[in-house]
């Protein structure tokens, strides 16, 4: 197991070159708050350079027209990633705070996505219609141009490739913004891309930034024709509004408030460990975090007790400790933010079943560790129920009927995912709604 990596100066990758920036920021290990390196803080200058390089590549090189070149490049890119997966895992654990199993799970999907995209690169079929006897109408599928990709810090390696791979397969070029908290991961990804000779200079451009100015330029630039964003719903709405003014194609993968519906006939020995892991995975910092538990009244006391016992005993620790069950949050400001929201919820009427909070465990206090919290609420209008907390906070509510369970589950703006725990396969079947 690699417990540290050599401190490195992460650079941006623009027009086939590694590029520094006048502004540099430290990269921090959130488990210890030690400096593990530094990165070029790109901002608007790097963003504009990335956009221009992608635009010129799309306009003047054969990338957009040569499907076999793209298929070959993507296949070789998958091989290059495969060769450096362990290093990528080490870096994600160190820079991002993820436990090793979670980091392995993230990077596992990268190679699959690239190989799948390689298979699509030569399959951009059009369509021919016989509109009337003797006449035909034909449509062709062509790349739209430069793709602006804005990636999050919570799963930076995979969620960037998830957008990049299909864009490249289609013949688009890309300008991609990575958050500063994932700049070391971005640097390794840039090195991997640089190692694939079939990818022409300018086809993929990556810059990191500590703020969002470069990302805004990706959305606003007339040279960027499509935008892929993964992140918060608040920012997603802003992007949709800004991009909509130019009728850009936009793909948004935003927040969630996943409910677990636990019915009286559920197997609690199976359900509770999964419900707990759905909260503790990456300290509740992902879109499908199981942040809401809706329990049928007849088993609510049992669910409450089992959850409280399980959450109270979650072992915090860094990725270097194989016994760790939950790693740190991304940084201390987010720990503070989450706990302010918890205190506001308690003041508004939420009942603390397990009040977690910043750790006092010796050896962990320098890091961004936050123990899980379980709150019981009767009022779904509380902000802690309605808003995505993005931290290790779980909400418990009770219901008396299937209809009430569905109503509570839907009583939020989010609809990304949900879980149903029951031995009855017909529970909440669409035909019964």
**Could you write out the three-class secondary structure of 192-245?**
HHHCCCCCCCCCEEEEEECCCHHHHHHHHCCCEEEEEEECCHHHHHHHHHHHHC
Nearest Cα residue to 187 out of 13, 318, 349, 355 = 13
Taking residue 212's Cβ as centre, other Cβ atoms within 10 Å add up to: 17
Spatial distance between the Cα atoms of 17 and 28, rounded to a whole number of angstroms: 25
Spatial distance between the Cα atoms of 419 and 123, rounded to a whole number of angstroms: 36
Spatial distance between the Cα atoms of 230 and 420, rounded to a whole number of angstroms: 26
Tokens, residue 160? 């960037």
Tokens, residue 118? 């390689």
| Contact in structure between 49 and 206 (CB atoms under 8 Å) | no
What's the chain's Rg over C-alpha atoms? 23
What are the angstrom distances between the C-alpha of 122 and each of 63, 116, 193?
12, 12, 20
Spatial distance between the Cα atoms of 256 and 417, rounded to a whole number of angstroms: 7
| Contact in structure between 112 and 166 (CB atoms under 8 Å) | no
Spatial distance between the Cα atoms of 48 and 15, rounded to a whole number of angstroms: 11
Distance from CA of residue 30 to its chain's centroid?
Answer: 18
Look-up of token digits 């918890």: 342
DSSP 366: T
Cα Dmax for the chain: 81
Look at the chain and count its residues: 433
The angle formed by the CA atoms of residues 352, 358 and 364, to the nearest 5 degrees, is 140
| Contact in structure between 276 and 238 (CB atoms under 8 Å) | no
Q: Is the dihedral of CA 3, 315, 288, 352 positive or negative?
A: negative
Taking residue 24's Cβ as centre, other Cβ atoms within 10 Å add up to: 15
Catalytic (active-site) positions: 253, 287
Nearest Cα residue to 159 out of 93, 211, 231 = 231
Looking from the CA of 365 toward its CB, the CA atoms found within 13 Å total 3
């Amino acid at each position: 197991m690699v417990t540290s990596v050599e401190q490195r100066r992460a650079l941006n990758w623009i027009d086939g070159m590694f590029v520094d920036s006048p502004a540099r920021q430290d990269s921090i290990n959130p488990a210890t708050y030690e400096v593990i390196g530094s990165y070029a803080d790109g901002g608007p200058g790097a963003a504009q350079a990335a956009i221009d390089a992608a635009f010129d590549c799309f306009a003047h090189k054969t990338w957009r027209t040569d499907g076999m070149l793209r298929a070959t490049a993507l296949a070789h890119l998958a091989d290059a990633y495969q060769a450096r997966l362990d290093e990528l895992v080490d870096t994600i654990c160190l820079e991002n705070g993820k436990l090793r199993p979670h980091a392995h799970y993230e990077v596992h999907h990268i190679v699959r996505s690239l190989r799948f995209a390689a298979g699509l690169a030569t399959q951009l079929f059009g369509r021919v219609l016989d509109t009337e006897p003797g006449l035909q109408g034909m449509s062709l599928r062509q790349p739209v141009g430069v793709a602006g990709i804005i990636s999050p810090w919570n799963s930076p390696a995979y969620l960037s490739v998830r957008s990049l791979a299909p864009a490249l397969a289609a013949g688009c070029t890309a300008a991609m913004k990575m958050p500063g908290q994932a700049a070391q991961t971005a640097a390794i990804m840039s090195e991997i891309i640089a190692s694939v000779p079939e990818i022409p200079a300018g086809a993929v451009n990556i810059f990191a930034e500590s703020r969002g100015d470069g990302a805004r330029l990706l959305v606003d630039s007339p040279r960027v024709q499509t935008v892929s964003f993964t992140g918060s719903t608040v920012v997603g709405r802003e992007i949709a509004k800004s991009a909509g003014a130019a009728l850009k194609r936009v793909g948004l993968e935003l927040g969630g408030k996943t409910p677990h519906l636990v019915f009286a006939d559920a197997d609690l020995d199976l359900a509770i460990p999964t419900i707990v892991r759905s909260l503790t995975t990456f300290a509740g910092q992902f879109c499908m975090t199981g942040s809401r538990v809706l329990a049928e009244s007849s088993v609510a006391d049992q669910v409450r007790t089992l959850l409280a016992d399980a959450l109270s005993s979650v072992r915090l620790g860094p990725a270097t400790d194989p016994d760790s069950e939950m790693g740190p949050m991304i940084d201390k400001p987010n720990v503070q933010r989450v706990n302010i929201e918890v205190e506001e919820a308690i003041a508004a009427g939420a009942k603390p079943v397990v009040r977690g909070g910043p750790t006092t465990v010796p050896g962990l206090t320098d890091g961004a560790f936050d123990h899980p919290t379980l709150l019981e609420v009767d009022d779904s209008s509380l902000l802690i129920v309605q808003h995505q907390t993005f931290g290790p906070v779980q909400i418990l509510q009770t219901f008396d009927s299937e209809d009430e369970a569905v109503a509570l589950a839907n009583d939020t703006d989010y609809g990304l995912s949900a879980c149903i725990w029951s031995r009855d396969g017909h529970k909440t079947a669409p035909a019964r709604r």
